[in-house]
Chains A and B, each alone.
Chain A
Amino acid sequence: GAVVSQHPSRVICKSGTSVKIECRSLDFQATTMFWYRQFPKQSLMLMATSNEGSKATYEQGVEKDKFLINHASLTLSTLTVTSAHPEDSSFYICSARPDNEKLFFGSGTQLSVL
């Protein structure tokens, strides 16, 4: 079945550095991928919809200059957390789906900013 691979699964970085998270569809092409964030003790929040070959669509309140999304190919979307701060520490997860099929999720990335 379809697989979405997310890397890294866990990352610890210093405040002020940038972190890149990759989301790959391994055996299908995905023109659209979704990026979510889970705040502590809260549910998932959709951050943005990543569109292959065009700009991502960000949800209200999400800083596009802070969370850079690049969807340069049909199998790869990246989320870069720029100039990370401790409040950016969170669990980030991506999802994608083959056309007209079920949604598949990456395994998530736990980001800790010191």
Chain B
Amino acid sequence: AQSVTQLDSHVSVSEGTPVLLRCNYSSSYSPSLFWYVQHPNKGLQLLLKYTSAATLVKGINGFEAEFKKSETSFHLTKPSAHMSDAAEYFCVVSDSPGGSQGNLIFGKGTKLSVKP
């Protein structure tokens, strides 16, 4: 069975400092992994996805994530936080082989706060 765990429910950083949002997963297959962001009163936006290509995935707005099979992790990082990054972030794993379709398993989300 697949599962995803976001280790921090809330992360607070200062503007200009690095961001690290942690995500661990378990999967019987080679997983497809996604990071989504949700800004207040808006729907989800895809930041980046891993589908068995390069293990270091670059996404939008300067975010990237590294797939580490040995650690079953897919942590999201950004070198320098911006005020506009304040939002809720979701790590998601696909439970179908190759991520073709089927159920998506969502983490519980991490709320990122950015202080001036």
Among B34, B38, B45, B51, point to the contact of A103 (Cβ < 8 A). B38
A105 touches B103 (CB 8 A): no
Q: Is the CB of A102 within 8 A of B100?
A: no
Alpha-carbon separation in the docked complex, A104 to B35 (Å): 15
Q: Is the interface of A mostly helix, strand, loop or mixed?
A: strand
* A105:B106 contact, CB within 8 angstroms: yes
Q: How far is the CA of A93 from the CA of B109 in the complex (A)?
A: 16
List B84-107 residues whose CB lies under 8 Å from chain A.
Answer: 88, 90, 92, 98-104, 106
CB contacts (< 8 Å) of B98 on chain A: these are 41
Q: Is A67 an interface residue (CB 8 A)?
A: no
A107 close to B100 (CB less than 8 A): no
Q: Contact partner of A43 among B41, B43, B46, CB < 8 A? A: B46
Q: Are B102 and A91 in contact (CB under 8 A)?
A: yes
Given A34-B44, A95-B44, A107–B103 Cβ distance below 8 Å? yes
**Interface residue tally on B, bucketed by range:** 20 to 34
Tell me how many residue pairs across A and B have CB atoms closer than 8 Å: 54
Query: How many interface residues does A have (CB within 8 Å)?
Result: 22
With a cutoff of 8 Å between Cβ atoms, the chain B residues found around residue A59 in the complex are 43
Q: Are B101 and A90 in contact (CB under 8 A)?
A: yes
Distance A36 CA – B111 CA, assembled complex (angstroms): 21
Cα–Cα, bound, A36→B104 (Å): 11
> Quick one: which of B9, B46, B103 contacts A110, CB cutoff 8 A?
B103
